[in-house]
Amino acid sequence: MKWRNQLLALVCLVAFGALGVVYFQHWVIRKPFGIILFVGEGLSPGRLAPTRAYAAGAGTRLNMDLMPYAALVMNYSKDFAAPDQAAAATAIATGERVTNRALAVNSDGKPLKSIVELAREHGRATGLVTDTKLTDLTSAAFYAHTPEPNDTEKIAADFVDRGNIDIAMGGGAAQFIPATKGGERQDTRDLLLELRGNGFDIVRTRTDLEAVPAWRRPKLFGIFNNDDLAFANQVGQRGQQPSLSDMVRRAIQLLQYNSGGYLLVVDAGLMGKAAEENNGERTLSQTLELDRAVGIARSYGGEKATIMVCGDVAIGGLNLNGFPFRKDSGIALLGFNSAGQPWITWATGPNGDKSYGAAKIPGKEYENPSKQPQTEQPEPAAFYSKSALVTVEDVVAFGNGPGTDTLQGVLHSTAVFNILRGEL
């Protein structure tokens, strides 16, 4: 009789445990361990088809195409139909629309809390990765607060003083070093020295980055160039600089050792810089760099991670024109076709031949005053501007994982923040 009671107790225990597992899986809300946000500078819907064709032909599927949810994103600012970089990044980082030139501050100049700061409050480790300067406005919107977006000294100081990011990688070392030591800071602060004193490991090369042990949760500051990192096709300049995919992979490997989960923000900024220069090859190759990094994030973060990719502003009005063959890719889409027509054109930018208004220079009406000898074949722009202008145009967002099923139809750019906040 005794063994029967024991067996009955065991069966009841197993049944109770099974019911508990089912209940937990189906009714208890579980937050994703990893949350990863990619900001693709200039990632508008019109960028996708040319990038697919450039990658391997018109029928190519990008990693972004394989994400199950997508939406068009409205991205105006509080005072203009097209936001500048500061206002666009602030809407994504804080969920608040601000006027152009405001960086994570409201109309009274008071700081707006970013998704990174909220993640810290929820016990998550935080990371920031960019292929431009860490003080560039898109990255800075996640940790700095200022009504003066050109004040890179304050932005760099905010990174150190606020201390909300555990792992950061990118360029822009000059903003963290005083002029007396070869940097650009006019004060006497050596922010790299201060970071080291705060327990950060400082790494300056790809080799150093790969050597960081993956078995502990470090405080890591990877700074790989004084300025932006090199473009993908600048093989010589890249040298020991890691790619965007390298930095994303290492960031995930290191952040995942925090038991409370992590938030990683990735700013793909070089694709925007290339668009501002009317450089079609670099624009498309850097968009592919973003796409490769998204693939790495999905692989290392896992299918249960919340991963989002969102554009900030549309830039320059790039178009791939004419009738390239369906399988044409790479350099076959650059330069001019057999009829002498350009495959790629821009609406505005430094390759424009006509200028109007403030840009119109007497005696040089049809001459681009900024043109310098170029080693690459430039694509023409319709009108000259010092750098390609932002356009009044929706951007695009893709999502995978918990919370991203709301990426449907047409959303406001502030919705990105709200989705991520709901998963913290």
Q: Mean pLDDT throughout 216-225?
A: 89
pLDDT of residue 193: 97
pLDDT of residue 1: 54
Q: Is 116 helix (H, G, I), strand (E, B) or coil?
A: helix
pLDDT of residue 403: 97
pLDDT of residue 354: 78
pLDDT of residue 338: 86
Q: How far is CA 116 from CA 156, 416, 420, in A?
A: 16, 13, 10
Query: How many alpha carbons lie under 13 Å from residue 396 in its C-beta half-sphere?
Result: 14
Instruction: Note the pLDDT tens digit of each residue in 294-313.
Output: 999 999 999 899 999 999 99
pLDDT of residue 15: 59
pLDDT of residue 21: 44
Higher local confidence (pLDDT), 417 or 26: 417
pLDDT score of 22 more than 70: no
Query: How many alpha carbons lie under 13 Å from residue 255 in its C-beta half-sphere?
Result: 33
**Which burial class, exposed, middle or buried, applies to 11 when counting CB atoms under 10 A from its CB (0-12, 13-18, 19+)?**
exposed
* pTM (two decimals): 0.90
Buried b (16+ CB within 10 A) or exposed e, 60-95: eebbbeebebbbbbebbbbeeebbbbbbbbbbbbbb
Confidence category of residue 2, pLDDT binned at 50, 70, 90? low
Helices (H), 101-203: 115-121, 137-140, 152-162, 191-197
Q: Mean pLDDT throughout 242-251?
A: 97
Average pLDDT over the chain, rounded to an integer: 90
Rounded distance, CA 224 to CA 203, Å? Answer: 8
pLDDT of residue 6: 58
Rounded distance, CA 206 to CA 415, Å? Answer: 35
Per the CB < 8 A criterion, the answer to whether 290 and 275 are in contact is no
pLDDT score of 33 more than 70: yes
Share of the chain above pLDDT 70, in %: 87
Instruction: Note the pLDDT tens digit of each residue in 303-339.
Output: 899 999 999 999 999 999 999 999 999 999 999 988 8
Confidence category of residue 218, pLDDT binned at 50, 70, 90? confident
Which domains does the chain show, CATH number per domain?
Answer: 34-318+396-422 (3.40.720.10)
- Looking at residue 110, its amino acid is K
Per the CB < 8 A criterion, the answer to whether 305 and 35 are in contact is yes
pLDDT of residue 18: 54
Confidence category of residue 240, pLDDT binned at 50, 70, 90? very high
Q: Mean pLDDT throughout 81-102?
A: 97
pLDDT of residue 19: 52
Q: List all residues 6 or more positions away from 200 whose beta carbon is below 8 Å from its beta carbon.
A: 219, 220, 221
pLDDT of residue 374: 45
pLDDT of residue 24: 41
pLDDT of residue 8: 61
Q: Mean pLDDT throughout 248-273?
A: 96
Q: Mean pLDDT throughout 72-93?
A: 97
pLDDT score of 80 more than 60: yes
Q: How far is CA 140 from CA 120, 134, 375, 398, in A?
A: 16, 7, 33, 22
Confidence category of residue 340, pLDDT binned at 50, 70, 90? confident
pLDDT of residue 180: 93
pLDDT of residue 266: 98
Confidence category of residue 280, pLDDT binned at 50, 70, 90? very high
Instruction: Note the pLDDT tens digit of each residue in 349-401.
Output: 999 987 766 655 444 444 444 444 444 556 899 999 999 999 999 999 999 99
Instruction: Note the pLDDT tens digit of each residue in 54-67.
Output: 999 999 999 999 99
Q: How far is CA 202 from CA 126, 177, 222, 369, 397, in A?
A: 17, 13, 6, 42, 33
Per the CB < 8 A criterion, the answer to whether 136 and 269 are in contact is yes
**Which burial class, exposed, middle or buried, applies to 404 when counting CB atoms under 10 A from its CB (0-12, 13-18, 19+)?**
buried
pLDDT of residue 373: 41
| Beta-strand relationship, 69-74 and 314-315 | unpaired
Q: Mean pLDDT throughout 178-202?
A: 95
Query: How many alpha carbons lie under 13 Å from residue 376 in its C-beta half-sphere?
Result: 15
